[in-house]
Chains A and B, each alone.
Chain A
Amino acid sequence: MGAKVKTMDRKGASFQERLYLIEIFKGMATTFGHFFRNLLDNRKLYVRHYPEVQPEIPVRWRGRHRLTTHADGTVKCVACFMCQTNCPANCIMIEAGERLDGKTEKMPVKFKIDLLECIYCGYCVEACPLDAIRMDTGIFSVTDNNRESFVLELPELLTTPGAFSEEEYKKGGA
């Protein structure tokens, strides 16, 4: 026992309110007041004109992933599988292979991220020992009409540019 019970007065019990029509017209007046005001001048609207107006994305926003590259455009990732190991959604699928350009010995041959399974937690970015995967593309909305196109492959991950400068990204706490 112990929950305190407080009896509330029931509103809408007066005669005028019980007539119903008067209250309906009062409500309509409010609705149409807003409607005509916004129709004539919509500058004070509380909604964003999405998608014409995009929101401002902060640097630390975890958006869609990308793989970073060295200055010469080659992939930084060495396929150490740290991101795949750390991923709680199990949405990263990597296949490793031999790297022959002399930078290191190992590189990803396939690198897939299933965006439908990704929970955008950013653990892959934290786990990466080489800053090779980032979520700084600023892309927050990924849409399509089939499942297959939500699986990002290596070329797409490599060609998507970051949305911020290197200084801004570092300042963001990375």
Chain B
Amino acid sequence: MADTIKLFVNGVEVEVEAGKNLIDAIGAVGIEIPHLCYHPALGADGNCRMCLVGIEDGRPPLVPACKTPAQAGMKVLLDAAHIKKIQRDVMELELINHPTDCPICDQAGECKLQDYYMSYGRPESRMTVPQVQKSKKLDFGCGVVHDQERCVTCGRCVRFCRQITKTGELGIINRTDDARVNIFPGRPLNNRYALNVVDLCPVGAMTSKDFRFKQRVWFLKKAPGICHGCAKGCNITIEHNREKYQDDIIYRFRPRLNPQVNGYFMCDAGRLSYRQENEGRLLEARLSSQIRPLSDVLAACNQEIERAGKIVVLLSPNCSLEQMVAVKTLSAKLGASLSGFSDGYVKAGDGDGYLIQDDKSANRAGLTLLGIDCTQETFEEAVREAQLLINFNNDLTRSYTDSELKKLLKDTKVIAVATHNDRLTAMADIAIPVATSSEYAGCLINCDNILQAFALAVSKNQQPLDIGAIAAKLGSPLQSRAEQFAELRKYISILKDFEADTLPAEGLKLNDSEAANVTA
């Protein structure tokens, strides 16, 4: 931990981290200073005046806490009558023209204006003149819907577009009660991180078109997760809910703070990748074209494996490390050649040097670390010689066109262990449904060699098995996640200090010697 200093809040001594402003420093020890415009990623702006506090050392009577660095010996005053009056008055001013349409506002339940009204305000409206009318339901592009009446003109969205994406699509036009956030005429939001303004907006002025009216936020259960959209591995919160008589469904992904990986934000493509967890899933095991119980299909698989002379096992670069070692030991036991060929997952030139990466797979570093061959030549040569291909959820349609694929696999039987009922699964002779990334726990290594663990987030009504469990049923000696993790320790020496569920939340930075510690 960084240096600490001691200061006084309401006469009580607290020890806080040095070098931060008052909101962050005192907030870290659980004392909240209300604020609307300040956000740690966007810096202090000082326009909302909600964070005004008193400092008892001869300074001006009030200072904005967001612009005041915490200093040793400072005497911060939060609960004095005049501070509370300021907070109440600011709330009253914010609410003068607020439409108070909480019943139809998607932000209700996670709205700072609602929260602060309950804890700092509760003023009765004294207005006798009609409210200022502004535009509602403006389509700002990129799936952002703006309501000017709900806006408190804190400028977080404007600063995000200027400082983070550096595209500057948004601005505040006009002054006083006519001030409003708007786009320039004919130039809507056009960047790949635009939906972050929905999270940043402390009120319901910015809402997501995708999430609009889908759920009230207080129904959503939140679980931490890792985005599998690209090699960055952004930390996310998976927000899901099981409605009555329905299945557990994911309604949105939101970024979760991890300074080591993604900071406060994530890209729009990753945010909307929750849809893939819900849609087009393979739900039933299939033998040729007939739907059969999983046990029958697994028995048929084992027969095929015995019958086949040469087998190729193909692994997806999205699998967790545990799944990879399970499949690796399986293929070693079967004497099969193992490949992680997945060139189609790389979209060259798509990355932007911030969060989005060229490589659209979540764990390619894991494949490399486990010493799994990923070259196209070896894979194609092995397939030509083999009678059976066991494909663990590798989307070959990304690497080949349909005709190329048919030509490559014409003499090979295919067992598809797949999450989705897509074209590739339809081509397979046997299909086995497996869990997607929100339905199992595991570890990933991202593009910066940071090992991150994630836990099971969603439990479906009929929870499919994960790839590790399917590998175990097909004969892998590693029967449980604990055994898989123990095997993993042979490859990554630093893991000997940890258990599968005690890995640090911010991730483990693997240094070069560990990443190169390949025994295979």
Contacts and interface: CB of A to CB of B under 8 A. Distances in A.
Q: Is B one of A's binding partners?
A: yes
Interface of A: 78-82, 85, 90, 93, 96-98, 104-106, 129-130
A90 B244 CA distance: 8
Nearest to A108: B213
B213 A80 contact: no
A85 B213 contact: no
B482 to A, nearest CB: 38
Given A79-B213, A97-B213, A129 B136 contact: no
Given A78-B103, A79-B104, A130-B103, 10 more contacts: A78-B104, A80-B216, A81-B216, A85-B218, A93-B244, A93-B245, A96-B213, A98-B213, A106-B213, A129-B103
B243 interface: yes
A90 B216 CA distance: 15
B112 to A, nearest CB: 19
A85 B216 contact: yes
A93 B218 CA distance: 15
B243 A104 contact: no
B137 A82 contact: no
Q: Which of B103, B104, B212 has most A Cβ within 10 Å?
A: B103
A121 B102 CA distance: 25
A96 B104 CA distance: 10
Interface string B127-150: 000000000110000000000000
B104 A104 contact: yes
Contact of B103 (A80, A93, A97, A98): A80
B242 to A, nearest CB: 12
Contacts of B101: 104
25 contacts: A78-B103, A78-B104, A79-B104, A80-B103, A80-B104, A81-B216, A81-B219, A82-B103, A85-B216, A85-B218, A90-B244, A93-B243, A93-B244, A93-B245, A96-B214, A97-B213, A98-B212, A98-B213, A104-B101, A104-B104, A105-B104, A105-B136, A106-B104, A106-B213, A129-B103
A130 B218 CA distance: 20
Q: Which of A80, A82, A104 has most B Cβ within 10 Å?
A: A80
Decide if the interface of chain A is mainly helix, strand, loop or mixed: loop
Contacts, number: 34
Interface in B77-122: 101-104, 108
A78 B216 CA distance: 13
Q: Which 4 A-B residue pairings sit nearest by Cβ, starting from the closest?
A: A80-B103, A106-B104, A96-B213, A81-B216
Contacts of A82: 103
Contacts of B108: 80
Contacts of B103: 78, 80, 82, 106, 129-130
Contacts of B104: 78-80, 104-106
B133 to A, nearest CB: 14
Contacts of A93: 243-245
Nearest to B147: A105
Q: Which of B137, B243, B244 has most A Cβ within 10 Å?
A: B244
Interface string B210-233: 001110101100000000000000
Contacts of A130: 103
B55 to A, nearest CB: 42
B211 to A, nearest CB: 12
A73 to B, nearest CB: 20
B335 to A, nearest CB: 54
Contacts of B218: 85
Contacts of A96: 213-214
Nearest to A82: B103
Contacts of B136: 105
Contacts of B102: 80
Interface in B410-453: none
Nearest to A81: B216
A71 B190 CA distance: 43
A79 B102 CA distance: 11
A105 B243 CA distance: 23
Nearest to B212: A98
Contacts of A98: 212-213
A84 to B, nearest CB: 8
Nearest to A106: B104
Contact of A105 (B137, B214, B219): B137
Contacts of B244: 90, 93
Contacts of A129: 103
Nearest to A112: B244
A11 B42 CA distance: 91
Contacts of B213: 79, 96-98, 106
